[in-house]
Amino acid sequence: MANTSAQSGPKILIVGGVAGGASTAARARRLSENAQIIMFERGPHVSFANCGLPYFLGGEITQQSKLLVQTPQALYDRFRIDVRTLSEVTAIDREAKEVTICNLQDKQTYTESYDHLVLSTGASPLVPPIPGIGKEGQFTLRNVVDTELIDQWIKNKKAQRAIVVGGGYIGLEMAEQLRHRGLEVVLAEALPQVMAPMDMEMANILHRTLRDHGIELHLGDPVASFESNGNGTTLVTLKSGTRLGADLVILGLGVRPETKLAREADLTLGERGGIRVNDHMQTNDPAIFAIGDAIEVRNRVTSQWSLVPLAGPANRQGRIVADNIFGRDATYKGTLGTAVLRLFELSAACTGINERTCQQANIPYEIVHLHPNHHVGYYPGAKPIALKLIFAPDTGKILGAQAVGEKGVDKRIDVIATAILGGMTVNDLAELELAYAPPFGAAKDPVNLAGMAAQNILAGDVAVMQWHQVQSLDLEKTLILDVRDDPERAAGHIPNTIHIPLNNLRDRLTELPKNKQILVHCQSGQRSYYACRILSLHGFQCANLTGSYKTWKMAQTN
């Protein structure tokens, strides 16, 4: 590569590549032809698709080269960026404005000065102090080298059974892909559910899907110890005493920010363990920026500091850093945590905050559950979406949403994420004009329906109850009314309910008491809303079970 030391622009050093670092470098070059840009990467690959790693292991991505987004030579040829792989930055001298680098090939060290330093050091897999952790046959997944090690182990050991520890995004993707590859898979999660950003009733759909695909699931049961059997197999003992044997173990226990460089340079760290930055992505040293998985970000809804290791935010942060270096006043306004996961035939997505976060932050909230089809029911292939919308009960401000289904999930969550970013309310959701044709949606899109259902609550047209309130009802004061048709009830029903089909309700009002509250449900919530309007207009006290039988049913088992 050419020597760029004679260039007259600012000298920008970037520690770490992948999403954030590479984005910073490319944007910086687009803003200046004179800047000297050097990127240091500890590993052998400077820019790779880490989100695609599980799919390479599962065989859906067949060529490893497809994972390499950029190479050092490609970055030099197009952007004149000096990329140095297998080069670890080991120290920062803030006073001298220089860093120390170790060439991992020959172990020689040298220094480079900087005008601006960008830390894109990422996050490392969490490896807690569990007895026996880290022994042979246990793997984390962070980079291309990790995929090679896991792939070779499976082939060499002729592995047939895998244990995935952790039910987050990586754990679930690895469970799916190892099953796709033909292995028996066990998934152990310390929490009572997988995919923590989702609430329990939504995660339960994923639990059933995992079991339906032959994955043995252990929830609410953390790992107590690992024991190597000496022949490459591992015995995993859970806190409950359950003992599980496997040919390999995937540790998907989450990640922690890589902050060693920042800590040793006396850069401010936050309570969550990440590097603390301002909205210009600057650390407490204005010449040093930090981005990506290594930093703490403001939650866009709660304004609280959080760790959100996602590629999309990291890319945007890299662009913002470059803009600020070259005098453009760009700010990062926070992260919604919008994410999507494919799990076999299902997609699961979320944005904003969940119900648990509302409770922990003492944020008042209301919820609607819906189960609309992803496109009109009369067009072939319509698939239901379980959609949960969380909003403020006074203003209608949208706080978050979750969705699970076979089709159309990502579209709806993306629309709601955009609405949150725009400061919109549920009233705006009801009014959104979204593309419609029978193969794609409905004249009233699921997003519109969610907004309308929330509007009904805000307007006082209907009161609602949640699935978890059913079990604590005082049946001396509340009657539960099922307004579904006979075949639906015969297929399953909520205990302690009476049954009057909606079409017969007006003729049987005398059977209902006016001195009790009536909780009404149908299959998904629409007919029970109609029933509530009838009852309210006839002087009854009533509430709609939001999401109705479908939501209640999916919340019953995990």
Residue 5's pLDDT band (cuts 50, 70, 90): very low
6 found inside a domain? no
pLDDT of residue 3: 41
- Tell me: the pLDDT tens digits for 293-348? 999 999 999 999 999 988 899 999 999 999 999 999 999 999 999 999 999 999 99
For residue 51, indicate whether it is catalytic.
Answer: yes
Please state, for a pLDDT cut of 90, what percent of the chain lies above it: 86
* Tokens 């984005």, located at residue: 23
* Whether residues 233 and 316 fall in one domain: no
* Whether residues 115 and 150 fall in one domain: no
Q: How many CA atoms lie within 13 A of 534 on its CB side?
A: 18
- Tell me: the pLDDT tens digits for 125-173? 888 999 999 889 999 998 888 999 999 999 999 999 999 999 999 999 9
- Tell me: the pLDDT tens digits for 478-537? 999 999 999 999 999 999 999 999 999 999 999 999 999 999 999 999 999 999 999 999
277 found inside a domain? yes
159: amino acid identity, one letter: A
How far apart are alpha carbons 222 and 493 in whole angstroms? 34
- Tell me: the pLDDT tens digits for 72-87? 888 888 999 999 999 9
Structure tokens at 463: 């009161």
Of 51, 102, 358, 522, which one is the catalytic site residue?
51
C-alpha distance from residue 247 to each of 55, 133, 210 (Å): 20, 15, 20
Per-residue pLDDT, averaged over 254-280, amounts to 96
Per-residue pLDDT, averaged over 51-66, amounts to 86
User: What CATH number is attached to the domain comprising 102?
Assistant: 3.50.50.60
* Whether residues 454 and 360 fall in one domain: yes
Question: What is the torsion angle, in degrees rounded to the nearest 10, for the CA atoms of residue 188, residue 194, residue 196 and residue 200?
Answer: -130
17 found inside a domain? yes
Per-residue pLDDT, averaged over 259-279, amounts to 97
pTM here is 0.92
* Whether residues 236 and 176 fall in one domain: yes
Range of the domain at 451: 345-458
Number of structural domains found in the chain: 4
* Whether residues 451 and 349 fall in one domain: yes
- Output the CA angle 59-48-57, nearest 5 degrees: 20
pLDDT at 91 over 60: yes
* Whether residues 215 and 302 fall in one domain: no
pLDDT at 422 over 50: yes
pLDDT at 231 over 90: no
164: amino acid identity, one letter: V
* 357 vs 232: which has the higher pLDDT: 357
Backbone φ and ψ of 357, nearest 5°: -65, -40
- Output the CA angle 274-277-279, nearest 5 degrees: 135
DSSP assignment of 403-433: EEESSSHHHHHHHHHHHHHTT-BHHHHHH--
Mean predicted lDDT score pLDDT of the chain: 94
Structure tokens at 58: 């599962």
Q: How many CA atoms lie within 13 A of 141 on its CB side?
A: 31
332 found inside a domain? no
Residue 7's pLDDT band (cuts 50, 70, 90): low
Structure tokens at 414: 């993306």
* Whether residues 29 and 178 fall in one domain: no
Backbone φ and ψ of 104, nearest 5°: -70, -10
Which of 458, 491, 519 lies at the terminal end of a domain, its last residue? Answer: 458
Identify any residues that bridge with 298 across adjacent strands, giving them in sequence order. 305
330 found inside a domain? no
* Whether residues 433 and 497 fall in one domain: no
* 436 vs 63: which has the higher pLDDT: 436
* Whether residues 235 and 276 fall in one domain: no
Which of 458, 486, 507 lies at the terminal end of a domain, its last residue? Answer: 458
User: What CATH number is attached to the domain comprising 514?
Assistant: 3.40.250.10
How far apart are alpha carbons 186 and 74 in whole angstroms? 41
DSSP code, position 276: P
Structure tokens at 244: 């599980």
pLDDT at 49 over 80: no
pLDDT of residue 17: 81
pLDDT of residue 145: 87
128 found inside a domain? no
* Whether residues 479 and 493 fall in one domain: yes
360 found inside a domain? yes
Per-residue pLDDT, averaged over 169-198, amounts to 96
pLDDT of residue 1: 40
Residue 2's pLDDT band (cuts 50, 70, 90): very low
Which of 443, 458, 473 lies at the terminal end of a domain, its last residue? Answer: 458
* Whether residues 163 and 218 fall in one domain: yes
* Whether residues 427 and 527 fall in one domain: no
497 found inside a domain? yes
